[in-house]
Amino acid sequence: MLRSRRRDRHATALRAPLLGRGWVLPRWLEQQADPDHPGYVVGTAQPGNTTARNWTLVGSLDSDRRAAVDAAGLVWPAGASWSIDWWVGAGDRWIAPAREAAVRQRLLDRTPVVETLLRLPGGEVAHRVYGARLPGEAVVIEIANDAPEPISLALAVRPYDLVGQTGIERVRVDGRRVLVGDRPAMLLPRDPGLVVTGSLHVGDAFATLEAGAGAGGPTDVACPGALAHVAVVLPLVHTGRLHVVVPLDEPVADRSRRRRSKDEPEVDRGSFDRVPDAATVASGWTSQTGAGPVVRFPDDRLAEAVEAGRRSLVLHEVGDAVSLDPMGDEPSVRETALVLGAMSRWGRVDEAARALARLADRQDDDGAVLGHPTEWADTGAFLGAIGEHWRLTRDRALIGALAEPIIRAVGWLDRHRLPGDGAATGLFPPRGEDDRRPGEVRYLDAFWALRGLQDAAVVLRALDEPHAAHEAARIGAELRVDLLASLEAAAARAGGEALPSSPDRPVDETSVEALAATWPCEVLHQDHPFVMATAEAVRTRFLHGDAVHDAVAPRGLNVTRTLRLATAELAVGDLRALDRLRWVLGAATPTWTWPVSIHPRSGGGTTGAGQHGVATAELLTLARHLVVMEQPSPEGVRLQVASVVAPEWYGIDWEATGVPTHVGTLGIAVRWHGERPAVLWELDPHDDAPGWHLTVPGLDPTFRSTEPAGEALLAAPPLAEEAAAAATEVRVSLDEADSAPDDGASVDEAAATSEPSEADPEPGASFS
């Protein structure tokens, strides 16, 4: 797994406080030390990153090693005790991008190639970071000088990472190699023109450069205060470009598992003959991540976020497992299940299957699959992840290989339900404590357990294991009875129908967890009174603007909880789901990443990973649910297409093909004829598909079809006439058809009675 050491911040963080010493600090600390910045932090001389935990992962498709890039281009190889900053000498001054407002960042073609642009008079300098195999594993820093004059480029090995100060006791330059201890930190394309070192005693190398230091200084520095650092300076002419290679050591967590084979290639200076440029790498990402559904959204920003998110999700695949945060611990199975579901929906089916098999390897002898010390939901989530993958793919080989782990997990869930006659009877005991909450019984654990038992029964039945399937269904039915009794009692104690997150708590900010009952756990119907009341309580009491606010430390506007509320709203056709989506898109970094929580004033991350896999996965899942969302119905499954449609999308055609669903693979399109939309669909059902029907509630709540393919003209949705009148271009391009139910008028009849347009519409409208 991609996981760094758990560093003791009390032992290593800010051994000698840098504030007030004139050091160039990482961008987050520069902001936290600036009294004029919204992210200014008071009250401590040893800050960690609490206001700008934002970064972007880079790496290779066929590698499990990663690096992260912050908002100003600082590069941190995952697991390293150092990072690489960059400074530019232009004219008569040195510029540190961490301190500059004239810095912007973006992804190259929405791929994991991070471009940071520093504006200079008459032009700019582009700093690009991306993964490569050379043949060893590395990231490449590409610098291009598009300014009109030559510049001096300084690349500096620094004693901090993206969340705090680390420590470097010795750093040296050996020809074209820069070494931290004995580990290569950078490989240069040519000998540096200037080497400047710094330490606690000497001070910051940036200050030395500003003072106009010449050549001939030391190339090796040690510092008992662990603040050794070095900057190597390379000239770069107008239109010039250079590449610096940053070797990626094995993830720290893997070093104890194996030693590098003597035949395994390492990156060395000869690798420069094979360094691809940024454009080539971006093109490779585009061609190699094109599998899966193709969706043309009616909103440009959403389309861009989904395209970038689909590719960045690949970087959370580590070998045959999932990593959500290169700085954190192994993720919970519950979190992993959410990522695996997004992978299965968006074209990473084989990778998701391998990760599910890897999860089974973590099963204990007694049947538990526990990945996090505060999560009892993990074993149920393991079963739920298998069930969701099966429903989407019908991968019989995978479930066949997992039959025994499934049966053992069902038994574990049965054995660990609480006895007694209290509010928690039949649920699951507390499991440890986290930073925010004492050990307590949590409904989330029971939701996931019930979801897992339901899915286990379905999968075991498909494997022709009737006795085991019956047992899973029986245990699930008993759990449902106990769970509903506890929920009813808890809601009554709270004086309504809104749910707390635990029978031991009132309705509070954690109640948003209870919305998991409808999604992803699907144990309560989307319009169940408990779900509706809980969503309303969250909206009334726990929002800041359109986002869910975590008022208990660590505070912030919670991205994943906001998306959870949006999904509950989307399921019942509540247009307020789009308010949450607008906020999430607006809160994204320029590279389309999200932390766990966001500072309401600085807009930066406040806790957790700066690019959190669950946030990306939840955004991708919500976007897919905007296209089609499966809902339980008496007939089996309702394919709910376009659950909500923003009025600004009226008149804009959109389509999706190759969308995996619980029923089969769906293609869907919406075409507009004046103020009336037409829907076209084609479903390739699974051989054993359950009963189903298709609806389009966001456009026409009266429409319903059980045909596997067809087209229909729908009634005009509210405000569509006004939207159509305001639109300047509406495309009418439908294949001729003999007839289609209105239920009534055909699409061709609509074309004859509506005002034709002369041109295609503009590309999708934007939320912004």
Residues of the chain with pLDDT > 70: what percent? 85
pLDDT exceeds cutoff 80 at 756: no
The pair of three-digit structure tokens given for residue 493, joined into one six-digit string: 């104690």
- 602-627 confidence digits (pLDDT tens): 999 998 889 999 999 999 999 999 99
User: Could you tell me where the beta strands, DSSP code E, fall in 505-561?
Assistant: 543-544, 547-550, 556-558
Distances (CA, A) of 720 to 182, 425, 701, 741, 754: 67, 51, 15, 20, 13
Distance CA 324, CA 479 (A): 31
- 231-267 confidence digits (pLDDT tens): 999 999 999 999 999 999 754 334 333 334 444 445 5
Rg, the chain, Cα only: 28
- In this prediction, residue 491 carries a pLDDT of 94
Concatenating the DSSP letter of every residue in 282-293 gives HHHHHHHT--S-
Query: Residue 100: exposed, middle, or buried by beta-carbon count in 10 A (0-12, 13-18, 19+)?
Result: middle
- In this prediction, residue 18 carries a pLDDT of 59
Q: What is the mean pLDDT of residues 689-718?
A: 95
Altogether, the residues listed in the chain come to a count of 768
pLDDT exceeds cutoff 70 at 181: yes
CB burial readout 34-61, b (16+ within 10 A) else e: eeeeebebeeeeebbbbbbbbbbbbbbb
- 19-68 confidence digits (pLDDT tens): 556 899 999 989 888 899 999 888 765 668 889 999 999 998 878 889 99
pTM of the model: 0.89
DSSP-derived 3-state class of residue 447 = helix
Asked if 293 and 347 touch (Cβ cutoff 8 Å), the reply is: yes
pLDDT exceeds cutoff 70 at 572: yes
Cα-based torsion angle of the residue sequence 462, 468, 473, 474 in order, rounded to the nearest 10 degrees: 160
* Residue 666: half-sphere exposure toward Cβ, Cα within 13 Å: 31
pLDDT exceeds cutoff 80 at 755: no
- Report the mean per-residue pLDDT for the chain: 86
Distance CA 2, CA 327 (A): 8
Distance CA 380, CA 413 (A): 8
What string of H, E and C letters represents the secondary structure of 637-683?
A: EEEEECCCCCHHHCCCCEEEEEEECCCEEEEEEEEEECCEEEEEEEE
Q: Please tell me which residue, 274 or 507, carries the higher pLDDT value.
A: 507
